[in-house]
Structure 1
Amino acid sequence: MTTTVIPPAPATTGRPAHRDGNVLRWLGAYASSMIGDNICYLALSWAAVQSGTPAQAGLVMTVSAVPRALLMLGGGVVADRFGPRKVVIGSDTVRCVAVLALAALLFATSPSLWLLALLAVVFGTVDAVFMPAVGALPARITSRDQLARVQGMRGLAIRCANVIGAPLGGLGVALGGAAAAFGLAGMLIAVSVPLLISVRMRELPGGDVDGAVGASAPSDTGHARVAADTGHARVAADRGHARVAVGTGHARVVGGEDSEDVEGAAQGQPARATAWRDLREGLRYIRRHRVLAPLIAAIALGDLGFVGPLNVGLTLLADQRGWGASGMGWVLAGFGTGAGAAALLLAVRGRLPHAGRLAAVAILTGSVAIGALAFVPNVAAAIGVALLVGLLAGLSGALCGALLQTQADPAYLGRVSAVSGIVSLGLAPLSMPLTAAAIGWWGTGPVFVTSAGVCGLGGVLALCVGPLRRAELPA
């Protein structure tokens, strides 16, 4: 990857993100795309159930996870190499075409499982590049001091998409079957494309290391030193700092096992950059970063302890307690309300002090509430506890997301978002079948408490690692 020379972002744009038309256009595009996604997945599940057995329908709904998990790291590289705006526009265009094509086919003929599975694979593959690009995009449309507010606004958009998408999808299926629902989803995704095209980008100026005297360049910890020398240019990565010396002969990149000689500007040949090297560079950047590495580990522990109980675990708990589907729905509504309130708080405030410490405390307190959920006496108490879980989980999730945005160098944000996405969307869902099996063996109480302990470890880690505990959002 060509070394990117990044000037420090301005401290403030003078306009908060929720009043910035550029940010609002991006948010509208994102919300429209997410509502279309929700409708599409509802229509896909309905069509799969109508076309095959429950087991076959389940397989159709899960095949999208395979390419998403396998390709997301590569998607992060794509987002950083080609720019997140281009990747997001291309991803939404592909999804729109695929969904509308399927809608047209379903109007003409009955759905087949292989066709539905193909759409699921396409969506999973596109998601692998879409999600890292979405994570990298906010840094290109607003200043650092507004990234936390944008994270809260994005959380609100996700909650609204979840609330609006399912009823719209059900209405589409009721009025015109799966074909009508897919058509509606495709049109909503299509709305996002012109909105994204209209978004103005704060492009990161690029340039080779040769001639970059006096400029700062991203390194494994975001610090760089540039010095002049004669005869050759040398880039050395050592103990998390990069030194760049510029001269007239040739350039040598020194970085342990990744060392390679390259021809310099004198011979007119740039340093070779491959996708594989970019991937290793991104992973090394995360590993050596004093905040990002423990932050992603804390997110992983929190998600592993959270996803199982709040998905399959809650269903089994409601069945055992006789709450029924309506009771479970109210509990989930309580959780969604709490999470939405946390996102709204960050969107309005824009910044919360002591972000690292506050995120850790929210994870720890939320883990206690998760464990308590298995012991509440009735559905009303469960709704109250779920509201608290949603508020704390939403707060910790928003803060962790904002810290990822503000701590990562923008040149690496695609790859950072990809690693975080693999943790949340690849590893965490694996806990759901394990949670279901464990509840069958030991019951809901012990499993919820164990899951709460795993989640709480994320908070303990965040408190124990000094740089993460002291991390702040930009003022």
Structure 2
Amino acid sequence: MTAVPLAEPAVHPAHRDPQVLRWLGAYTASTLGDSVYYLALSWAAVTSGTPAQAGLVMAVAAVPRALLMLFGGVIADRLGPRRVVIASDTVRCLVTFGLAALLLLASPGLWALAAVALVFGAVDAVFLPAVGALPPRIAGRDQLARVQGMRGLAYRMGSVLGAPLGGLAVAVGGTATAFGVAGVLFALSLPLLAALRLRPLPREDETGRGTALSDLAEGLRYLRRHRVLGPLMVVVLLSDLGFTGPLNVGLAVLAEQRGWGASGIGWVLAGFGVGAGGASLLLTVKGHIPRTGVVMGWTMVVGAVSIGALAYVPHLAFAVLVALSIGLLAGFSGALCNALIQTECDPAYLGRVSAVAGLGSLGIAPLGYPVTGVALGVWGPGPVFVVSAAVCALSGVYALAVRAVRRAELPKT
């Protein structure tokens, strides 16, 4: 089974295509809003309860996101990704404005924060698959790699700038102001999204005729039978399982043992972010990477070596350099994987395929955090990082071993 092209490639390259630039502006504003929202939520939760209660509030969003994401992909494919993204950002805008007003008028406590977190988790379950399904509807197949690179740059910008912006808003006007700023950023995305004009699907008049369950089952059958996409889902899951534990749990333990402190964690994460941003920039500029499947597999394997090495670096400066290499290699392989998913998938199924791919990192991989924490306490960072690196390397080896993935190519620009 192969992808069904929507239309001829766009006349303009992605970085000069008005459609792509509108989408990119909306995505950047939404990502900034997310970063400000999460900082404001965590600060409000910490100041309103105990650390354990704050952790529970922050974790609440993961439940509806994991439970509903597959059906979120069905909704994105049925209603169209633009409608779903507009509706999602509208809900997030109204909810954050409402919480800002509530905080100004009263002290609602943790229950209100938990309710907002639940709403955001449910919205994420439909928003994330829809975001993944949008690029092929606004850009030609030969530009999708560049679009993924631009998306990576926008995501890094949102992560880097959003936290300081949220912190400044909290310092100036408290958490109510920070939630208000997040609402404004969500609102900024709406006119840009409304101005998008999507290409029609080849079989758009045939979509959405079954039940949600039948549509989901059809999408899973499509994935299982596809010679490239099915194995790519295994690659994504293995890389997420191996990557997220050390970076989200193990890094804090490593910094504590090395005496780097919280600032050391920040420097290591900054190195990772710079590397990942560099990978996105490279893909944006190049557009086409020859022998895409082979390059993706080997960068996963080499990046896994860097993950294992991070646990054995004694000095912070060297750890930052290793983190930069992890970000560059993992970011590049991840961007190539996403670009292959975009170009190989029939756009009519892309919402459901994006949901399956996202479920690994947002639903399944976080379940391993407690296991990683226990293992860190028993064996220490070294063995845990090595095992995690081995899982990441396995994802690259599997990509190289599957002939269809190894021979997969991005369209030439």
So what's the TM-score if we normalise by structure 1?
Answer: 0.85
Which structure 2 residues correspond to residues 127-206 of structure 1 after superposition, within 5 A?
127-206=124-203
1:307-327 per-residue CA deviation (whole Å, 9 max, x = no partner) reads 011121011001001111112
**How far, CA to CA, are the matches of 2:381 and 2:8 in structure 1?**
49
Of the two, which has the highest radius of gyration? 1
2:12 to 11, 15, 28: 15
Shift of 1:165: 0.3
- Greater relative contact order (CA < 8 Å, ≥ 6 in sequence): 2
In structure 1, the residue matched to 2:405 is 468
**How far, CA to CA, are the matches of 1:116 and 1:348 in structure 2?**
42
In structure 2, the residue matched to 1:82 is 79
**How far, CA to CA, are the matches of 2:130 and 2:363 in structure 1?**
17
In structure 1, the residue matched to 2:342 is 405
1:68 to 61, 65, 68: 65
Contact 1:64 1:122 in 2 (8 A): yes
Gaps of at least 5 residues in structure 1 are 1-5, 210-217, 219-270
Distance 1:111 1:164, change over 3 A: farther
Shift of 1:208: 6.1
Shift of 1:431: 2.2
Q: Quick check: 1:330 aligned with 2:267?
A: yes
Q: Quick check: 1:419 aligned with 2:356?
A: yes
**How far, CA to CA, are the matches of 2:26 and 2:205 in structure 1?**
34
Distance 1:437 1:145, change over 3 A: same
Contact 1:51 1:111 in 2 (8 A): no
Q: Which runs of 4+ in 1 moved over 6 A?
A: none
In structure 2, the residue matched to 1:290 is 227
**How far, CA to CA, are the matches of 1:276 and 1:291 in structure 2?**
24
Shift of 1:14: 2.1
**How far, CA to CA, are the matches of 2:411 and 2:177 in structure 1?**
46
Give the secondary-structure state (helix, strand or coil) at the position aligned to 2:404: helix
**How far, CA to CA, are the matches of 1:379 and 1:208 in structure 2?**
57
Shift of 1:348: 1.1
**How far, CA to CA, are the matches of 2:235 and 2:209 in structure 1?**
35
**How far, CA to CA, are the matches of 2:218 and 2:7 in structure 1?**
27
Shift of 1:8: 3.4
Identity of aligned residues (%): 66
So what's the TM-score if we normalise by structure 2?
Answer: 0.97
In structure 2, the residue matched to 1:350 is 287
Give the secondary-structure state (helix, strand or coil) at the position aligned to 2:198: coil
Contact 2:4 2:346 in 1 (8 A): no
Q: Quick check: 1:114 aligned with 2:111?
A: yes
**How far, CA to CA, are the matches of 2:179 and 2:331 in structure 1?**
30
More helix per residue: 2
Shift of 1:272: 5.2
In structure 1, the residue matched to 2:39 is 42
Contact 1:47 1:111 in 2 (8 A): no
1:49-90 per-residue CA deviation (whole Å, 9 max, x = no partner) reads 111111111000000000000000000000001100111101
Shift of 1:107: 0.6
1:387-416 per-residue CA deviation (whole Å, 9 max, x = no partner) reads 100000000110000011001100000000
Give the secondary-structure state (helix, strand or coil) at the position aligned to 2:329: helix
1:410-464 per-residue CA deviation (whole Å, 9 max, x = no partner) reads 0000000000010111111222222121010001111110111111110110010
Shift of 1:206: 3.7
In structure 1, the residue matched to 2:389 is 452
Distance 1:208 1:68, change over 3 A: closer
Contact 1:335 1:386 in 2 (8 A): yes
1:163-217 per-residue CA deviation (whole Å, 9 max, x = no partner) reads 11000000011011110000000000000011100112112144667xxxxxxxx
**How far, CA to CA, are the matches of 1:298 and 1:450 in structure 2?**
17
Which structure 2 residues correspond to residues 188-337 of structure 1 after superposition, within 5 A?
188-206=185-203, 273-337=210-274
**How far, CA to CA, are the matches of 2:120 and 2:184 in structure 1?**
16
Contact 2:242 2:389 in 1 (8 A): yes
Q: Which residue identity does 1:457 align to in structure 2?
A: L
Gaps of at least 5 residues in structure 2 are none
